[in-house]
Chains A and B, each alone.
Chain A
Amino acid sequence: MSWLHLAILSPFILAVFIPLFYKNFRRIHTGWFVFPLPAVLFGYFLHFIPMNQNGDVYTKTLKWIPSLHINFTAHIDGLSLLFALLISGIGALVILYSIFYLSKAKEALHSFYVYLLLFMGAMLGVVLSDNLIVLYSFWELTSLSSFLLIGFWYERKKSTSGAQKSLVITVFGGLSMLAGISLLYIITGTSSIQEMSSQIEVITSHELFIPALILFLLGAFTKSAQFPFHIWLPDAMEAPTPVSAYLHSATMVKAGIYLLARMSPIFSDNAVWFITVGIVGSITLFWGSFSAIKQKDLKGILAFSTISQLGLIMSLIGVGSAALHYDYLDDNFYVIALTAAVFHLINHATFKGSLFMIVGIIDHETGTRDIRKLGGLMSIMPISFTIALIGGLSMAGIPPFNGFLSKEMFFTAMTNVMEMDIYHLETWGVLFPIIAWIGSIFTFLYSIILVFKTFTGAYQPEKLAKKPHEAPIGMLISPIILASLVIVFGFFPNILAYTIIEPAMSAIAPQLVQGGERFYINIQFWHGLNLEIAMTLGVILIGILLFVTLKKWTKIYDLLPEKFTLNNLYNGLLKGIEQGSKSITSFFMTGFIRDYLVYIFSFFIVLVLGTMWAKNAFQFNFSNVAPIGVYEAILALVTVAATITTLLSKSRLTAIISLGVVGYTVALFFVLFRAPDLALTQLVIETISVALFLLCFYYLPQLKRNKKLTFRLTNFLISLGVGVVVTLVALSANSNRLFTSISEYFLKESYREAGGKNVVNVILVDFRGFDTLFEITVLGIAAFGIFALIKLQLERRNENEKQ
């Protein structure tokens, strides 16, 4: 157990003690006990930065299931460190914010912080695990803790349905990922990512490569809310706002991006990867930003905005994989896409986190998040307005904030696509910059709507539940820190470039930096007039134009009827599956015992006949059979006649008597076939059985005594089939005797070994005495059962007592 393992497991350990703190220190907000942990973790992860800058990695292994090669290997490289810093840093800020956001008196704080700590530990586990099985375990733990956090206010119906939806979709993706992991394990024989990376040639040439890739992509797309799996994210906004800020903007939704970036060395040198990731990301970017505009809830806007921005990062990772096709580092200007992806990932976490917190503040201070009721809060909440403005403009991609820089790099990366000479990009590649540009216009538009519809315009105090005022300073600390980071990264982006982005890129595309090379990123060339600046100007101009004319064109959102939305499809699918399985079940589970017997017999017939046909078992050989004697022939006739009488008899008495006739002829058969003990037993038992039947018959109802058996064709066909199958199997088995019986031994040794001349009896009590022991047990149990059935009549006794 190293310090690194302890760091990953520390949130789980603390989670155990949270309820104790909550119960014993009621006067102190439980969040204060949680806050130090992520802060310390953040400091701990910071000290890896110098090591990381030199391109070194840090690996520690803890044995878990060594026999299956599953070990808890913690691995820190540039990518892991970036995410670990995001998780612990924003985690600390979110917990600080939640201390002021959640009421000590009203909320179940212990549950909240236990779930949050579980989530934090799981997330650290995801990004720091080198073993895919361990990664998967933590991955599902993030789904589970996210489910718990979304459903935190479990008495609200929307919370529980949102939680259910997110769980269904993310676990679907998680299980796909598990399948992908299994395929990779089959290919490589290891579940360690580092060991897989050394076998890239083996993996890419394997026939299971594409299925594994697609399964991994499914996992990443569902977790990161990519089209069409994005529908869970807007519904997850029912969670408390600190949760939305932490999970659904900064960390969990980026787990999919982390996964893609992490598996990028293995998968990315492939057209399927480039096309799928690039196109799905672009569609998500467009659809998310387009849908954000029609939202009336501030958190709804932010949810779709998150979807859109994740799509942006996703498309950049997809496009960035093209850099690998040009095997040189110097002058490889396709690398810019990966830089932009990593840079925007950080930027998005900063500005989206602060925006969520501001929305939470607005909700907290005014009592509503509905954009139609809000307005004119600028003078009442000046600090919140400033932070929202910084975050909003950064999101829109306006200078001098960090969003501007990453957006410029995004445009550069997307325009580069047209110059690639792979995958026929010279023809359809032009779609990438166009979608990017249109998506950016909508992004600009919803950012402006978010900020200006809330803080400017008419102040409508009559629509607000509370009298609004500026938030307490404690609540503002976290968004202020994040907004300052937005500005700092905007002006001094290279603090990040050298320390975080370069090592992270080496982890995403290690193929490019073999032989001691390193990435050299310099985010300074944003001066100068070029195509990207022109695109940004276009975004701003058209965006403002659209904002001014907003009322005139928003009707287009009504063109898409409710019926054709993805949510409707999802609900229909769930409902359909439920009703479909219910109707299938009620179709064959009829409750009639006859139907079940029909299934059983039919399967018996089909399976046995099918097997015999497939194995060519219809080979009959009658050379070995004994001759038919006269007595046997007569007895056979009697048996058949009695059987048919049983079958066709109109009264039950006839049936019982003819059953007795069958039993006695069977006893006579035993006599003819030289089995005296059998004949004796059969005679006695048949007598008792018939007596028992008659006893029952005597007590059976009068009304249906002579009712004719209803003839059913299916019954007849099935019973005919069973009879034919039994005969065929018997004949076939009799024709293929493979070895002689072991009875020679019994006959030879019966007297010598056991001292008995009746071989059957010696077998029963000596050679195979155990059978007899348990046969006696069976009889005993039957006797006790009968006794209990007749004597124990609890219901009737209770009734008597009542009377």
Chain B
Amino acid sequence: MEVLMAIISGILFMAATYLILSRSLIRIIIGTGLLSHGAHLLILTMGGLKKGTVPLLGENAASYTDPLPQALILTAIVISFGVTALFLVLAYRAYQELGTDDMDKLRGTEDHE
């Protein structure tokens, strides 16, 4: 199972990198979204995918899944959501002000070099 999840994470990272390298601002943000999905799945996988009950103590099971990676992912999800939301609004404002979402055109002027 871990091998499969590692490969899926790899594919997510690959797609994310490819999108981040593109010219369009919105594709770059989509890429960051895929990247955070990949990272979250990777954290979960690295915590071990051994079967166990959900980490709710009322279940009275013999074994539970590892709660720590879940807590870490929960934090990460919220943070990446905040960042993505900010990026999206930034992209929206950038397009509104500059009239383009092409990264090759968003280079600054020669004076700024």
Contacts and interface: CB of A to CB of B under 8 A. Distances in A.
Given A636-B4, A674-B53, A724 B46 contact: no
A692 interface: yes
B82 A782 contact: yes
A696 B92 contact: yes
Interface string B13-48: 111111111111011011001100110111011111
18 contacts: A589-B113, A591-B113, A639-B8, A659-B33, A662-B12, A666-B37, A677-B70, A678-B70, A688-B81, A693-B29, A696-B92, A697-B26, A704-B24, A722-B14, A723-B13, A763-B71, A782-B82, A783-B82
B68 A743 contact: yes
A733 interface: yes
A741 B88 contact: no
Interface of A: 586, 589, 591-594, 597-598, 601, 622, 625-629, 632-633, 636, 639-640, 643-644, 646-647, 652, 655-656, 659, 662-663, 666, 669-670, 673-678, 681-682, 685, 688-689, 692-693, 695-697, 699-701, 704, 707, 709-710, 712, 715-716, 718-720, 722-724, 726-727, 730-731, 733-734, 741-743, 746-747, 750-751, 757-760, 763-764, 768, 771-772, 775, 778-779, 781-783, 785-786, 789-790, 795
A662 B46 contact: no
Contacts of B21: 594, 597-598, 601, 712, 715, 718-719
A591 B110 CA distance: 10
A796 to B, nearest CB: 8
Given A627-B1, A758-B55, A758-B56, A724 B47 contact: no
Nearest to A676: B54
Interface in B66-113: 66-68, 70-71, 73-75, 77-79, 81-86, 88-93, 95-97, 99-104, 106-108, 113
A763 B10 CA distance: 29
Contacts of A622: 3
Interface residues of B, number: 88
Nearest to A672: B49
B75 A682 contact: no
Interface residues of B, dominant DSSP: helix
A626 B45 contact: no
B20 to A, nearest CB: 6
B81 A771 contact: no
Contact of B10 (A594, A633, A724): A724
Contact of A696 (B14, B23, B83, B91): B91
A598 B103 CA distance: 14
Contacts of A707: 24
Contacts of A591: 107-108, 113
Interface of B: 1-24, 26-27, 29-30, 33-34, 37-38, 40-42, 44-58, 64-68, 70-71, 73-75, 77-79, 81-86, 88-93, 95-97, 99-104, 106-108, 113
Contact of A709 (B22, B29, B75, B85): B22
Given A594-B23, A662-B34, A730 B9 contact: yes
Contacts of B3: 622, 625, 731
B4 A646 contact: no
Contact of A760 (B23, B51, B70): B70
A716 B85 contact: no
Contacts of B70: 675, 677-678, 760
A364 B7 CA distance: 86
Given A674-B55, A726-B38, A758-B56, A696 B66 contact: no
A700 B96 CA distance: 9
B30 A693 contact: yes
Given A594-B103, A699-B92, A723-B11, A675 B1 contact: no
A46 to B, nearest CB: 61
B49 to A, nearest CB: 5
A636 B49 CA distance: 15
B75 A775 contact: yes
B89 A789 contact: yes
B81 to A, nearest CB: 5
Contacts of A685: 77-78, 81
Given A646-B19, A722-B13, A759-B56, 19 more contacts: A601-B17, A627-B1, A646-B34, A662-B34, A669-B41, A674-B51, A676-B56, A689-B85, A693-B30, A723-B17, A730-B6, A730-B46, A743-B66, A759-B67, A760-B71, A772-B75, A775-B79, A785-B86, A785-B89
A723 B54 contact: no
A677 B52 contact: no
B101 to A, nearest CB: 6
Contact of B8 (A640, A720, A763): A640
A151 to B, nearest CB: 30
A726 B42 contact: yes
A727 B9 contact: yes
A659 B1 CA distance: 23
Contacts of A790: 89, 93
